[in-house]
């Protein structure tokens, strides 16, 4: 199957594209786009990979689903396009960055600037039906994105995995903590941010680790 995805990821994940589950997943997603409103737009489904080639990855931030509201999802976890209001979880991420680093965050929620610096903003499920959270879970995306996480965990060293909330933290089982830094906190959503996300200081901790391993820190 010819999947349009950044070339280094296409090579890393090539075995997935020929597996029966992926063919079934691709057929399901195509039908969903034909029959319903699905986010993100088709050309943004693999945006997390397209904006952050394998050898550029320094940090992995895991989300669950794309945003399911109109025009919100742009293929990067927690991110929205510049003409869309910043969602509450990202507002809380920005608050923690400002508290942690002193840097004032932009008024928009487009995180492509992070991706270009080596932050893989990966949702476990890469598509969703409009207005229906979780509607594309259990269709095969999780197997695909787990493989991407495992590939990085096994083939790279000294990456930082930021796991916010119980769903992301379960993915931490795929990561060797002797080779990588895994930082965990409650999810930044308004329901849980004050239970330990605020004050986690993950952003300065990430940069301290990158600097210790002679890598460029992230300009959050």
Active centre residues (catalytic): 65
Of 197, 94, 95, the closest CA to residue 183 belongs to 197
Strands 38-39 and 128-129: antiparallel
Q: In this structure, which long-range contacts are made by residues 90-99, counting pairs with CB atoms below 8 Å and at least 24 apart in sequence? A: 90/188, 92/188, 92/189, 92/190, 92/193, 92/197, 92/198, 93/188, 95/198, 96/188, 96/193, 96/197, 96/198, 96/199, 96/200, 96/201, 96/202, 96/203, 97/203, 97/220, 99/198, 99/199
**CA–CA dist 50, 164 (Å, integer):** 23
DSSP 51: T
Using alpha carbons only, how large is the chain's radius of gyration in Å?
Answer: 17
């Amino acid at each position: 199957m010819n999947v349009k995805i950044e070339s280094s990821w296409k090579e890393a994940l090539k075995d997935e594209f020929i597996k029966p589950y992926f063919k079934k997943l691709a057929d399901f997603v195509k039908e969903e786009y034909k029959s319903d409103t699905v986010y993100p737009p088709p050309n943004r489904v693999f945006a997390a990979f397209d904006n952050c080639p394998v050898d550029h990855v320094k940090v992995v931030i895991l989300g669950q689903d794309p945003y399911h509201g109109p025009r919100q999802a742009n293929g990067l976890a927690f991110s929205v396009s510049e003409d869309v209001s910043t969602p509450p979880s990202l507002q809380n991420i920005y608050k923690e960055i400002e508290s942690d680093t002193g840097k004032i965050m932009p008024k928009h929620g487009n995180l492509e600037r992070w991706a270009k610096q080596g932050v893989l903003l990966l949702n476990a499920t890469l598509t969703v039906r409009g207005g229906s959270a979780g509607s594309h879970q259990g269709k095969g995306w999780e197997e695909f994105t787990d493989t991407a996480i495992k590939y990085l965990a096994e083939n790279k060293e000294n990456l930082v995995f930021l796991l916010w909330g119980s769903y992301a933290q379960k993915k931490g089982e795929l990561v060797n903590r002797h080779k990588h830094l895994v930082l965990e906190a409650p999810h930044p959503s308004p329901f849980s941010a004050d239970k330990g996300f605020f004050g986690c200081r993950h952003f300065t901790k990430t940069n301290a680790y990158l600097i210790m391993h002679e890598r460029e820190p992230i300009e959050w």
